[in-house]
A and B are shown apart, each in its own frame.
Chain A
């Protein structure tokens, strides 16, 4: 399923949050959005998943304007893992994953055995099968995040929108999650914090700054020392990693670049 964002702008209480956004995700493509805090990544995603309607511009799924679709129709096509924490109420993990089946249900229709299988399969994919009867309130932040992913999987949508999906996850689960998403072969749009993760998994990356897209292209094209200095205000050393062949970014913090003098001083302290 193809997603197009055409000249979208959005303002909130008179303040322009994002402007003139063009973005495209082809079927099966993994598209990342990177940018510093407050650059408008989440807002753009909210425009895409229909929580905030853009002031102007058009967002289409396979050339259908999503704001012309019903909430239910959209949810059948697009699954979202947002930053909203939904793990505060006493539902079992499996019940929560089954909520992902809601867009496919009529009113009053109960969950079928088929829905159960879909939920169990989703739980297996995120490695939480053993937790299916546990109350969501007893899970850690990372486990909750994986439940939300499982719920999105159970939705069986052709587009997956992820807002910083690897937040709260340890390294192992970050990689597990990204591997999982990568193997789904559906269109993915993800706001990502971790630039190395973005580099490893994205087919294309959009860089946002101050509500605008300042650069886009393949990870190699986008992730350059100069760009990162300009957008994120950090010094980096970028290499092609010898094992993965992917662009690898090492952040050079100001203390690491400090003179030998300072180093010696700090040793004595």
Chain B
């Protein structure tokens, strides 16, 4: 009887429209995407390796990859040139895979941070991680500090900078031993501003134009320096974070309901928040120190994913991982090709392509993340 009453209430237009986007649609879409995206990912990897200033047939890419696969390697008869081999195996392979890892990692970090602060404007860099890294990186580029770390001096300094920024923000955000998300955001933003100013000062005081150029290039993000050694350095934290977040996906969902509600649903909220901050910022720190602060991916991908499959992190995390990786690889292809043989910083590509797409998506649907409608 009561049910009947509520059913007869007038349903307005917005509700009718949204009824189509219900959880069943999301679930169906999730299944399709979970099946399709790995395929797209593999195709993207092959194509991204084939494309570049020197185009190499995807078949050869496939063969070179296969020749390095245990057991299958013997089946391939190498009909490629040495140059092709070097371009594919030594340069493009690590670069494309690093792109995939960075893209996936940034998308995950963005998903996590947006759940943590329940704010749609949050991205992995909002806690000042990238600004801290930039200070370290520009110091190395412009002054040649940390030379004892050889080719990893830049990454090391960037990570150190990120770490210091994280520690500072973490302590600034605490009130009586608890994290306040408002304070977390505000102190992150404040620290970012201070550190950006420091970076600007370092860059502007540099005597050498070339170095200024490479410092700016680094800050906008680039996969140019990719090599095989970087893959596990970036890959392991990404996988570890993914597993952690996946284990916590129920808690992440509940966190979106608000801190109080989360606490009454049995989540040890203060520990969980701190854990999230530490894990996400460490991941971001590693990613930034490897590739520079590539913007927009960590902000945009989680939103796009939620538009596709809803807010449930059991779905969002998987799709973010794949979509982040795929998007980043194509952005890198564009960065290499658009003004070849020159390169555009990949951060420019991610912002220029992702931004308009994102705006289109927002205009098209009634998506909202925490801000009402």
Give the shortest distance, in Å, between B328 (CB) and chain A (any CB). Answer: 25
Residues of A within 8 A of B266 (CB): 70-76, 102-103
Chain B stretch 259-296: residues in CB contact (< 8 A) with chain A: 260-261, 263-269
User: Which of A26-34, A130-138, A193-201 interfaces with chain B?
Assistant: A130-138
Nearest-neighbor residue (CB-CB) of B368 within chain A: A137
Chain B residues, Cβ within 8 Å of A135? 18, 21-23, 310
Contacts A88-B372, A138-B14 hold; do A70 and B268 have CB atoms under 8 A apart? yes
CA distance A71 to B265 in the complex (A): 8
Residue B205 lies at the interface, judged by CB distance under 8 Å to chain A:
no
A133-B22, A133-B23, A134-B22 known; A71+B263 contact, CB < 8 A: yes
User: Do A99 and B21 touch (CB < 8 A)?
Assistant: no
Q: Are B247 and A107 in contact (CB under 8 A)?
A: yes
Q: Which of A79, A90, A91, A96 has the most CB of B within 10 A?
A: A90
Distance (Å) between the CB of B275 and the closest chain A CB?
Answer: 13
CA gap between A143 and B3 in the complex, in Å: 12
Please report which residues of chain B, range 318-373, place their CB below 8 angstroms from some CB of chain A when the two chains form the complex: 367-373
Indicate if A95 sits at the interface (CB-CB under 8 A): yes
B-side contacts of A107, CB under 8 Å: 247-248, 250
List the B side residues contacting A92 at CB < 8 Å.
22-23, 26, 310
**In whole angstroms, what is the CA distance A137 to B373 when docked?**
8
**A138 and B197 alpha carbons, distance in the complex (Å):** 44
Residues of A within 8 A of B3 (CB): 124, 127-130
Bound-complex Cα distance A190 to B7 (A): 28
**Residue B5, interface by CB 8 Å:** yes
| Total number of B residues with any Cβ neighbor in A under 8 Å | 44
Q: Is the CB of B19 within 8 A of A138?
A: yes
In whole Å, how far is B122's beta carbon from the nearest beta carbon of chain A? 14
Tally of chain A residues near chain B (CB < 8 A): 48
Task: Note all chain A residues with C-beta closer than 8 A to B268.
Answer: 70-72
Bound-state Cα–Cα, A263 to B259, Å: 51
Judge if A212 is at the interface, Cβ distance under 8 Å: no
CB of A72, distance to nearest CB on chain B (Å): 4
Tell me which residues across on chain B come within 8 A of A260, comparing CB atoms. none
Q: Contact between A128 and B370 (Cβ–Cβ < 8 Å)?
A: no
Closest to B15 in A: A138
Contacts of A80 on B, CB cut-off 8 Å? Answer: 261, 264
As a 0/1 sequence over residues 95 to 121 of chain A, the CB contacts with chain B under 8 angstroms (1 = contact) are: 110011011010110000000000000
Residues of A within 8 A of B263 (CB): 49-51, 71
A133 touches B264 (CB 8 A): no
B312 CB-CB contact with A under 8 Å? yes
**Interface pair B258/A127, CB less than 8 Å apart:** no
Q: Any chain B CB within 8 A of the CB of A208?
A: no
Complex interface bits, B1-36 against A, C-beta within 8 A gives 1, otherwise 0: 011011100000011001101111010000000000
Q: Return the chain A residue nearest B17 by Cβ.
A: A138
A108–B368 Cα distance when bound, in Å, is: 27
Cβ of A253 within 8 Å of any chain B Cβ, yes or no, is no
- Whether A51 touches B250, Cβ cut-off 8 Å, given contacts A95-B23, A102-B266, is no
Rounded to whole Å, the gap between the CB of B255 and the closest CB of chain A is: 10
- On whether the beta carbons of B19 and A128 are closer than 8 Å, the reply is no
Task: Give the one of A50, A89, A99 with max B CB within 10 A.
Answer: A89
Residue among B14, B306, B310 facing the most chain A CB atoms (10 A cut-off): B310
Q: What would 26 A/B residue contacts be, using CB atoms closer than 8 Å?
A: A50-B264, A70-B268, A72-B268, A74-B266, A75-B266, A82-B264, A84-B258, A88-B368, A88-B370, A88-B372, A89-B370, A90-B306, A90-B311, A92-B26, A95-B23, A95-B312, A99-B257, A100-B265, A102-B254, A103-B266, A107-B248, A127-B3, A128-B3, A131-B6, A138-B15, A155-B265
- Extra inter-chain contacts (4) besides given A50-B263, A79-B264, CB under 8 Å: A50-B264, A91-B312, A95-B312, A99-B257
